[in-house]
Structure 1
Amino acid sequence: MKGKLPFSRRITLGALVLVLVGALAWVALRTGPLAATRITVMRVQEGRLAPAIFGIGTVEARRSWMVGPTAAGRVLAVRVDVGDTVKAGQLLADMDPVDLDQRLAALDASLARAGSTQAAAQAQLKDAAARRELAAINARRNQELAAQNFISAAALESRMQEKASADAALQAAQANLAGAGQDVARQKAERAGLQQQRGNVRLLAPADGVVTSRDAEAGTTVVAGQPVLRLIDPATLWVKLRVDQGRSAGLAPGLTARIVLRSHPGVPLPGQVARVELLADSVTEERIAQVAFAQAPSARAMGVSVGELAEVTLQLPETASSLLVPSASIQHRQGETGVWRIAHGQPVFAPVRLGVRSLDGQVQVLDGLKAGDEVVVYSQKALTPGARVQVVDTLIQDGPKGAVP
């Protein structure tokens, strides 16, 4: 028939078609949507885990003070600057005393006058006592004379009335002396209170420390309680550590710590958890602990500053021998936590019960696996039960969740 291809050519074209179809099938099965999912696997092994807790904290001072006046006033002078080392009782700043000195002088004059009044009352008491003694003697003498009928009853009554008047005068003198003493005590108390106010305008260092902030200058008006200077005790530096609540199991006082300051990344410092706060941060979902340095770093020698960030690693007790898997192999599927286990060349999802984790990516498996099981660590794409898989040493292409480059 005209136009019919020779038999040999038809054989050649058929062979080319078969080759093309085979090539397409090979590409589809190797790199296309029908290709096997490439995975990396690892055998479950037994071992001991050294769990640890990691967190970020800031350097703070356990003991700090805000030095300021107890009453509103104007700053007269500030005698120290930031970074100065001060001793307990050292004068740091002066507040304007306004009229306190004049009021003290007035109280001194009032106290002197009260002393003079007290001295006069004492003299009056002595005079009243002498008059009463004389009146008592005259009254006894007239009683004896009246008993012998040498004087009249009227004369005796006059002497008795003189004695009663002398008794009343003595009581009045005693009362005046007591009042003068109370007035002196009141004046002394007022002066002591005013002297205390005068002393409060002198801002003294409550303890040995270092000045970290100068919040007011001469001429500034401050209110009661407003700090003029801030001090810290550099020997009490510690780290305020924040730890994710979900990874804080085992956090307790006494744990050994490894502190790395942001300014000295290559110089780890030993420490220990001094306190775990009872109140956690509900906003950031973190627990707070205070980590003390085993040996307080010198702020001047190391350049440590309050507020500096620090990385803290807390070492927990080593666990007993148990099954371990990489944390990258842990997956969540349909509300269950487990791993993809390779059984007869196919992935099977195996729910597991996990224990503690280590910072190097190992997880303790309490139930659900046995030693020697092969589990999927990384996969090119999300797995499904019975999916075709290909075990490789490493994954070189990015994939969906669970894959790594």
Structure 2
Amino acid sequence: MKPSANIQRRFLLGAMALALLGALAWVALRTGPLAPVNVQTTQVTQGRVSPEVFGIGQVEARRSWMVGPTTPGRVLAVKVDVGDVVAPGQALAEMDAVDLDQRLAALDASLARGQSGRAAAQAQLADAQAKHALAQANLKRNEDLARQNFISAGALEARTQEMASANAGLQSAMANLDATAQDINRIRAERAALAEQRGSLKLVAPAAAIVSSRDAEAGSTVVAGQAVVKLIDPSSLWVKLRVDQGRSAGLAPGLVARIALRSRPGESFAGKVARVEPLADAVTEERLAQVAFDVVPPGISVGEMAEVTLQLQPTEEGLLLPNAALQSFEGSSGVWLLKDGALTFVALQVGANSLDGMVQVIPVEADALSHGDTVVMYSAKALSADTRIQVVEQLQGAAK
């Protein structure tokens, strides 16, 4: 082989080796472990945050009634059905009276007998009073005669004894009359109680309401306090809201609410927080509140799920960032500031945030961050101050 051909071959091989090394270096620097980290950036803005509290609840009735008997018994009839609108005092159901009517008749007879006994006692009292008056007059007459020595001492003692007997008879008649009056009062009280019990067997509506449940049928035996019919006031519907305790700061009565019902997708109803429960749910770690509708929507159901958004008071003017831009570095929360191609971690104090992902921040060091600065929002890998980066418009898989 000629010397010139060997030189050409060696030169060609060297060129190919250099090209291969260059390609490997380019791959390592662009797509390998030494490649810059792709980041997506955002701008620091100035403004106010309108914090919102979100929670899920269910529709309940503020005013409801469980209508049932006050004594055990058997249901005689149920006169309403689920969904019926009832007026105050309207009959809902009736319990079987069993022997109450007969007991009332027996007490009426006892009352009549007591009144007859009272009449007899009054007659006995009148007779005792007449005897007492006669004995008193005889005693006075004999006392006058005894002073004039017209009668003996024995005769006067007999009249005195007659007077004492008349006094005892009068007292007995008066006591007997009082006893008959007490018996009559007792019978009347027993009859009134039994009549009240008889009247309670007719179950009536305490207010204008809708029948929400029919829990017993004719022939069923129920105990005292068991509901036969359940009622709700349709104008008192509200949402029992559950809010995560960690996101419940600012929850208070009077907050404006937007209510989205599961049965009305795409619609929103206005309301307000009527009450915040003093006791939280320790198991689910949630706070409870009652949210009332400004106008109760027609046709909603008790127990229906609802999503509620509460509007809190806007904050003061401050620096705003997307919540996604916040990173944790060396135990501090903050953002990576991009200035002149270099990364600097700026520690921040996080303030209020809104449901759209914006959060109000305050730099730990004054003037470390200002309006218009560029910060990293998403990065393909964890960052450090000496990380090489490449800014892209959109990271693959990053939220839009």
TM-score if structure 2 supplies the norm length? 0.94
Cα 1:187/1:334, change in 2 over 3 Å: farther
Q: Distance in 2 between the 1:332 and 1:173 partners?
A: 101
After TM superposition, give the deviation of residue 404 of structure 1 in Å.
Answer: 4.5
Partner of 2:197: 197
Partner of 1:45: 45
The worse-fitting range, judged by mean Cα deviation, of 157-166 and 24-33 is 24-33
Structure 2: gaps spanning 5 or more residues: none
Q: Distance in 2 between the 1:236 and 1:264 partners?
A: 19
Give the ranges of 4+ consecutive aligned residues of structure 1 lying more than 4 Å apart after TM superposition.
Answer: 1-5
After TM superposition, give the deviation of residue 215 of structure 1 in Å.
Answer: 1.3
The worse-fitting range, judged by mean Cα deviation, of 15-24 and 239-248 is 15-24
How big is each residue's C-alpha offset from its partner over 1:308-358, in whole Å with a ceiling of 9 and x where there is no partner? 111111111222210000011122344432222224424333221011001
Q: Distance in 2 between the 1:404 and 1:8 partners?
A: 56
Any residues of structure 2 matched to 1:198-237 within 5 Å, and which? 198-237=198-237
Partner of 2:348: 352
Alignment of 1:58 onto 2:54: no
Q: Is the 8 A contact 1:211 1:232 kept in 2?
A: yes
Q: Is the 8 A contact 1:380 1:404 kept in 2?
A: no
Cα 1:142/1:86, change in 2 over 3 Å: same
For 1:281, what is the secondary structure of its paired residue? Answer: coil
After TM superposition, give the deviation of residue 112 of structure 1 in Å.
Answer: 1.2
Partner of 1:393: 393
Alignment of 1:173 onto 2:169: no
Alignment of 1:319 onto 2:315: yes
Cα 1:334/1:96, change in 2 over 3 Å: farther
Alignment of 1:307 onto 2:303: yes
Q: Is the 8 A contact 1:348 1:386 kept in 2?
A: no
Q: Distance in 1 between the 2:23 and 2:144 partners?
A: 157
TM-score if structure 1 supplies the norm length? 0.93
Partner of 1:241: 241
For 1:352, what is the secondary structure of its paired residue? Answer: strand
After TM superposition, give the deviation of residue 9 of structure 1 in Å.
Answer: 2.6
Q: Distance in 2 between the 1:68 and 1:192 partners?
A: 21
Any residues of structure 2 matched to 1:142-153 within 5 Å, and which? 142-153=142-153
After TM superposition, give the deviation of residue 188 of structure 1 in Å.
Answer: 0.8
Q: Distance in 1 between the 2:302 and 2:278 partners?
A: 23
After TM superposition, give the deviation of residue 32 of structure 1 in Å.
Answer: 2.3
For 2:162, what is the secondary structure of its paired residue? Answer: helix
Partner of 1:253: 253
For 2:13, give the aligned amino acid.
L
Q: Distance in 2 between the 1:280 and 1:333 partners?
A: 35
For 1:235, what is the secondary structure of its paired residue? Answer: helix
Alignment of 1:382 onto 2:378: no
Partner of 2:139: 139
The worse-fitting range, judged by mean Cα deviation, of 167-176 and 12-21 is 12-21
- How many residue pairs align between the two structures? 396
Q: Is the 8 A contact 2:346 2:363 kept in 1?
A: no
For 1:366, what is the secondary structure of its paired residue? Answer: strand
Partner of 1:88: 88
Q: Distance in 1 between the 2:62 and 2:3 partners?
A: 101
After TM superposition, give the deviation of residue 104 of structure 1 in Å.
Answer: 1.3
Any residues of structure 2 matched to 1:154-165 within 5 Å, and which? 154-165=154-165
Q: Distance in 1 between the 2:183 and 2:103 partners?
A: 17
Any residues of structure 2 matched to 1:59-138 within 5 Å, and which? 59-138=59-138
For 2:355, what is the secondary structure of its paired residue? Answer: coil
Q: Is the 8 A contact 2:37 2:379 kept in 1?
A: yes
After TM superposition, give the deviation of residue 197 of structure 1 in Å.
Answer: 1.6
How big is each residue's C-alpha offset from its partner over 1:145-176, in whole Å with a ceiling of 9 and x where there is no partner? 11111111111111111111111100000000
Q: Distance in 2 between the 1:30 and 1:221 partners?
A: 83
After TM superposition, give the deviation of residue 210 of structure 1 in Å.
Answer: 0.6
Partner of 2:332: 336
After TM superposition, give the deviation of residue 279 of structure 1 in Å.
Answer: 0.8
The worse-fitting range, judged by mean Cα deviation, of 259-268 and 171-180 is 259-268
After TM superposition, give the deviation of residue 37 of structure 1 in Å.
Answer: 1.2
How big is each residue's C-alpha offset from its partner over 1:185-220, in whole Å with a ceiling of 9 and x where there is no partner? 111111111112212222221211111111111222
After TM superposition, give the deviation of residue 2 of structure 1 in Å.
Answer: 9.7
For 1:219, what is the secondary structure of its paired residue? Answer: coil
Cα 1:404/1:25, change in 2 over 3 Å: farther
Q: Is the 8 A contact 2:320 2:361 kept in 1?
A: yes
Q: Distance in 1 between the 2:81 and 2:277 partners?
A: 34
For 1:6, what is the secondary structure of its paired residue? Answer: helix
